[in-house]
Structure 1
Amino acid sequence: MNKEDQVIMGFRDLYNKMVWLNKDKMEDSLKGYTSTEVHCIEYIENNSDSNVTKLAETFYMTRGAISKLTQKLIKKGLIVSYQKSDNKKEIYFKLTQQGKDIYNIHEDLHKEFQERDKVVFEQVTEEQFDSVLSFLKKYNRHLDIEIKKMGIESVSE
Structure 2
Amino acid sequence: MNKQEQVMTDFRDLFNKMAWLNRNKMEDSLKGYKPSEVHCIEAIGKNADPNVTKLAESLYMTRGAISKLTKKLMEKGLIDSYQKPDNKKEIYFRLTKLGKDIYNIHEELHKEFQERDQAVFKQVTEEQFDGMLRFIEAYSKHLDAEIKKQGISIN
- Scaled by the length of structure 1, what TM-score is found? 0.95
Equivalent residue, structure 2, for 1:30:
30
Q: Secondary structure at the match of 1:50?
A: coil
Change (3 A) 1:153 1:130: farther
Q: CA deviation at 1:151?
A: 2.2
Corresponding residue for residue 75 of structure 1: 75
Name the counterpart of 2:144: 144
Tell me the percent identity: 72
Matched, 1:133 2:141: no
| 1:41 partnered with 2:54 | no
Q: Secondary structure at the match of 1:124?
A: coil
The number of residue pairs the alignment matches comes to 154
Q: How far 1:152 sits from its partner (Å)?
A: 3.8
**TM-score, scaled to structure 2:** 0.97
Gap regions ≥5 residues in structure 1: none
Question: Which amino acid in 2 is paired with 1:11?
Answer: F
Structure-to-structure mapping, 1:1-157, within 5 angstroms = 1-152=1-152
Once the two structures are TM-superposed, the CA of residue 150 in structure 1 deviates from its matched residue by: 2.4
Structure 1 outlier segments of 4+, above 2 Å:
150-154
Q: CA deviation at 1:111?
A: 0.4
Please provide the CA RMSD for this pair: 1.0
Contact preservation (8 Å) 1:82, 1:91:
yes
Distance 1:105 1:88 in 2: 33
